[in-house]
Structure formats: C-alpha cells, structure tokens
Structure 1
Amino acid sequence: MNAADLGLPVAVPSTALFTDRYELTMVQAALRAGTAGRRSVFEVFSRRLPEGRRYGVVAGTGRVLDAVENFRFDPGVLEFLADRGIVDAPTLDWLAGYRFRGDIFGYPEGEVYFPGSPIMRVEGTFAECVLLETVILSILNHDSAVAAAASRMAVAAGGRPLIEMGARRTHELAAVAAARAAYVGGFATTSDLAAGFRYNIPTVGTSAHAFTLLHDSERDAFRAQVDSLGGGTTLLVDTYDVTEAVRMAVEIAGPELGAVRIDSGDLLLLAHRVRQQLDELGAHKTKIVVTSDLDEYAIASLAAAPVDAYGVGTQLVTGSGHPTCSMVYKLVARADSADPDAPLRPVAKKSMGGKMSLGGRKWAARRTDADGVAEAEVVGTGPVPEELAGRQLLVELVRGGEVVAREPLDAARDRHTAARAGLPLSATQLSKGEPVLPTEYV
C-alpha cells in the first residue's frame, strides 16, 4: 500500500515552476498579439536513439499525467513571478486561472519507440500547451533513459531478478523517478523506500559494510543481523575474507541462510567459488547476490556464473551512459485564428543541421510480418491505412483536461515485456547497432 491507500495526507505541490522562463514570456507575447488562443498541436519525439541503441522505452507517462494535473499557479508562485517581473499583470491574471483543458495522446507507458515516433501529442490552445513543454520533456527524457537501460539489463540478466539500488548516486527526487522507471524496464525491486511508498514497488535491503565494521568481529555482526532479521536474511561476505565469511555465515544462520552478497573482487570467479562452498556446507538453497558497479555488459558476462540476483546503481540511474533520450517538443500544426472551428494546418521547423521536423498531426502504427514480429514503425499524417487501423500506437491519456488513462505500474511493466518480445531477435543484442525497426513516413 502507498500513502493514499492508507488514507494518509499526501502533499501535492504545484509543478508550474518546473518550466523555463521563455515558456511564460511566449505566453505573454502571444496574449498581447491575440494568438495565444489558436488551436495547436505539439508532439514529443526523438530524432534519433542514443548511439548504438536498437530501441527506446517510453517511461514516465504516469508522472506526466500527475504533473499536468498539478500544473497550477498558486498564490506563492504568482507572487514570485510578480516580484521578479517575469511577466506582466495581464499575464499573471491569465496564469491565475490556468488549467490544462486540452487533450493528450501518447504511446502507453512501457511501449517501445524508434526515431520519429510521436511518443506524445498535446492538443489545445497554444498558450495552454506551450507551458507544459519543459515539464513533459524533463520527465520523459529522464525516465525513458533509465527504463531503456533497465530493459537492456533485464535482457542481459536472462530472467534473474534485478535490484535497483542507485539512490545514493543521483538527486534524491531523481532516485524515486529512476526506481519507478527501472521497474517499468524490468527490475524487480528497489532499495529506495520513497519509491516503495509512492509507487508500491517492492523494497529490499539488509546491511552494508559499515554494519560489519561497527562490531568487534564479523561473527558478532552476522549474529546480530541473523538474530534481528532471521536466517533468511542476506549476509554481506566481502568485508574481510570471503571464504571465511561464507563458512561463518552458514555456521551462524544454518543451511537455510537466505543469501550472501558479494560487492567487490572478481565476481565471476568468486561466484563460482562461493557456490561450490555453499553446496559443500549443505546450503544448497542459499542464493548469491552480486553488486559492484554493474552495467548490462557486466551482467551479461556473468550469465554462466551461479548468480541468482544483481544489484545495480550508478549505471542504471544514469541511463548506462545515455542519461537523456534527446526528446523534443515541437509545434506541428496550428489554426490561423482563435476560432475553435478554424482548420489546422501543418507547420514545421526548417532550419539546417539535422534539426528539421515534419509538420502535421501524426498517427503511428507498428506493422508486423506473417509471424507477428514487428517489421516497421509507420508514421503518417493522412488517413490510416486499413491494414494498420488495428495496430495504432497512440492512446488517449487526457480528454478535455481530465486524465482518462490511469493504470497500475505493473501494467506498464507487463506491457514493456510484451512489446520487447514482439521485436526482432536482434533487438536484444547488446552490441551497438542501428534501430531494430525502420521508421516509414506515409
């Protein structure tokens, strides 16, 4: 259960200042020019995947919905804007009544994406949509990067459980978001209690080296932990001598010892030695957990080792070398007047340097072959071909300012597993390569 389930008060801070100043100054200028009310369509997409990656993972959608709901300019925020002279009085009056009343469509959380995929589409007036740019991008770029790294690690782990333990390697709030995104990408548990409290993610953890060093001997430390947590606990065995620690751990906890954790050294060699020693001591069911700066490549290198679970920190919460997905939020269509019935016309940036975009309100579908394996990401602005009508990827998330697509986090996690399984086998290769699906524009 989380705080809301328990009936406890949950603080809901405004997200209105999770934005860049120029979003507000654009609104001020558009209000003065009479263009702020023009119906507009913005889309989130990435022009390319991080170098060498074969697919991306959509994560953070649920957090985006929370952010949109809580995007309110309360008195304290308005006072800050007024004191700093950031916008003028008419704009402050408009912001005081701000509520997003438009529509949002997007790839459901956990789905995979490719270059050009319209991951999210935001529709409404220019002013109400442009204000959401920064907060939407900050959430999707961070969470999708972590989820993509988590997905690759889950593939490398081959079904063995993964523990998210990166809270000490990133900002305290980013740690909670990272734990959530890692769960979507395939991690089973987190060490972060805030993530467990907020998102109902299972939490794990027992002790660190400091606990062993606190006691007069390793034996005293193990005895204290077993007396407190029971024989099913996980004992950290690499503070001094691994072999002696394993022997002592089984002696104290008995052959039903839950697990031992190895956090340093040659993990491949140590895992084999420890497994052999545990078996010789009769602790056949005692599991081996390894940690120590793992990434997907290190996890893959341990595939043949008798390892039962992996704990990952730094590389996970930093996207395993790619801490952002380079997603952008671009205006792709707008009306020529504030008349609600005015038709939309495509607009697009035409600058050089690879930063051009494609105008028009888009749909997306995934074409599959005769065996049901995905073979192309199809993106278009006109009518959806009949053969793709049942394979469209965008779903309705917000209608008229009201969220219509709340779902349990496990639904996003299961969706990702299914989406990844529907890709060609080469998607799971860890070696660098091109996106596993081409993006076709029609």
Structure 2
Amino acid sequence: MIRRKGSLILCGMLLFVTWNAILVLLLWGRPPPGQSDVPGQQHEEVASEPTNDVVGDVLRMAGSFEAELELQKQILIQIQRHHSLWEPLNRNHPQVRAPPEHVIPVLVIACNRVTVRRCLDKLLQYRPSAERHPIIVSQDCGHAETAEVIRSYGNQIIHLKQPELSDIAVQPEHKKFQGYYKISRHYRWALSQVFNTLSHSSVVVVEDDLEVSTDFFEYFSALLPLLKSDPNLWCVSAWNDNGRDGYVDPGKADLLYRTDFFPGLGWMLLRELWEELEPKWPPSFWDDWMRHPEQRRDRACIRPEVSRTLTFGRQGVSLGQFYDKYLRYIKLNAEYVPFTKLDLSYLKEETYRENFEKEVYSAPVVSYEAVKQGQLKGPGPFRLQYSSKDSFKILAKNLGIMDDLKSGVPRTGYRGVVSFISKGRRIHLAPPPGWTQYDITWS
C-alpha cells in the first residue's frame, strides 16, 4: 500500500515539474505587448490585450503570475503532506515516520540531582525509537552541576529550563513546605511546555530519581489505545505502591489492574486531561490534589502487578517519607513482557469490574491469624474482610502493606479492595459485599 501511494506521489511530482517547464516555455515564447500569436488574430483574454497603460499591463501580468504561483504552492503543500508515505522508498530512510498520535514523549522532572544520569541512562538504553519517544528533561532549581550532566547528553534529549526560580509567597505556617510549592509550579510549567508549546497529545512523566524497567516503553505503548478509548480511565502508571519483593507474584509480570488510587511515579496522561486540570492546577501538593474526588471523578488508572519503575531518591522535599520502610524495597520488573502483542481487553471497565468482583467475593473468607501465620490451605485467592477505617489500617499495617488513605481510597485499591501476596498466597483485603462508594472522611 505504501509503495502504491509512493508511486502515485512520485508521478504527481513529475507532473508538477513538467507543468512548470511548459509554463516557463510558454512565458518565454509569449509575444511582446502589441503583437498577436497568429497574424490577424486578437487575444481573447483581456489581460493579454495590449494597451497604452504599460504599468497596468505589468500589474495584470503580475496578478496572473501570482495566481499561478499560488496554485503551485498548493500542489507543493499536498506533496509535503504525503512525504512520509514515499520517504520509505528512499534507501537512506528505511523507517516509516511515526504518526503524531503514536508519539509518546517522556518528560523527566529534574532539579538538583546529578544522579539524573542514572534515570537518563536507563531511558536511553531501553528506548526503542528516538522518534516515537523523545526525552524531554525539564530542569528547575538552576543547579549548575545537574545542568551540566543533562547537557552532556547532547541531542539525545531536549533540555528545558524552568525560568521562574524565585521563592513563592506562602503563609508563615507553610514556609517549611516551600519545596512543595516550587514542585507544583514546575510541574505546571513543564506539562504546559509539552502539551501547549510542543503540541504532543500524550506524555509519560517520570522524576529524576526513577529507574525504569526493560519493558517500560512497551508497557506504555500498549496501554495508550486503552487510555484514549476508555473515558473512565485518566492515567496509566508504572507503579505498584505495595510492590515490594514478597508482596507481588513475579510469575505474573504481565498482570495489570485498574485502581482508584492515583499512583504517580511514572505515569501517562493525555492532552485532554491536561486541558481539564491546568486551569485549576494547585499551588502545592499536586499529587495529593490529584487524589481528591473533584479531580478523580470516579475515574481509574491502570497499574501493574510488578512495578516498571524504581525510586532511588531517598533525599528530597519529602525527607525520605516511606522510603526506608517501603519504597526502597519495591521490586523492579526484570522480565520483558511484549504487552503490544497481548490481549488487554480484560481491562475495559465493565469486563474488569465483573471479573474482579467475582474473583474477590467468591474467594473464601479467612482470618488475620491464618494469613499472618501462613496457615492457609489451597492455592487461593483468599478474602480478608475489613469493616471500618480502623480495622483496615490495623490489618494493613500488621500485614506489611501501606495503610494510609487519601480521600478514603487505599493505595492500589479498586472498589475498596487491596490485592497483594502474603506468604505466597493471593490475599484480597476487601470491604463487605455490596460496597458502593468511598468514605472521604477515611484519611
């Protein structure tokens, strides 16, 4: 099909050149004003009739040339628009240019970590195509050493610098949170550059302290069509908050979930979502703001069983919150999964909800003691039930999973259910049957 279209366009170009050659010959052969092409015959076109107004004759001729040039311009525009179809016929350009809707840039949010090199090295190592996945590094802070590290990658990346570096006026009690205000300002500026200035239709956001897995790009490429087609999804994340070694099934690296909790830490969004969020973007704590019901609007994200990102940045504005206890032990996927070749239709909302609830609520109910002491019989899965905020937090903490809630939503939760592995068995920490909505006072 490409060869056929390419042949047609090459024919069009030959016709274009031939037509212009004929046009030049005709213009050269045109008689001077006052002469007829054929003796005794007058030109029928008014513009060709000789007059005593030499300036007028020149202007009319110029108008004729202008109209002809405009026609040729339109032909050239059409050829340019179809350039990508015939370009593969050139031996020097063997690859078909990726359509804009298939380009997924990666936005790296950077500040003052020279270890951004670890992040960039892995992105470049695993990136399958520079054309399909341009890497945009947006740097805040004005840190010279970090800027030099980023510059060392040359044209392998795009280096943007956030221009506003001044402190932000905040209430006295928020002075200690100045860093969170600057991060939120930087995110807004960087995402605006990606969508409004560079005109991309999607982007994967990572921070400078994240290392990515071998199938990081494959994962997001496969899930972009689902994100575009499902209005009840608003992001795809590479992160599992409870993805520590021993709490995930390494044999199911291809397993994906819907979650009501915004995970972040390597996540993809579309331009349409940014157009919705940008006008009301918060001055600080942007990630917790994303978890408010007003932003989530009952939409879900996709997240993996085994994380496709790993954080190595203990030091930061959060002062290592959760890092030593949870984040440093997150298991990074080591098995390449060809997601683009898998059937991911099970993740569509109606299908997923029906199958997920059937699995959870048909599983036998077990006690905390049986789970904790490894006394479960059979392969599972098993259901461990909670009935209140306090019972959830006690069970989660004692079982070693993250126990905090944001607007009532537990980390990795879907319809109130948190799924994880405990002593080799799949456990669904779940509310009673008949769950309908989150209680936003559970925070």
TM-score with structure 2 setting the length: 0.21
Task: Tell which has more relative contact order, 1 or 2 (C-alpha 8 A, sep 6+).
Answer: 1
TM-score normalized with structure 1 length? 0.21
Whose Rg is larger?
Answer: 2
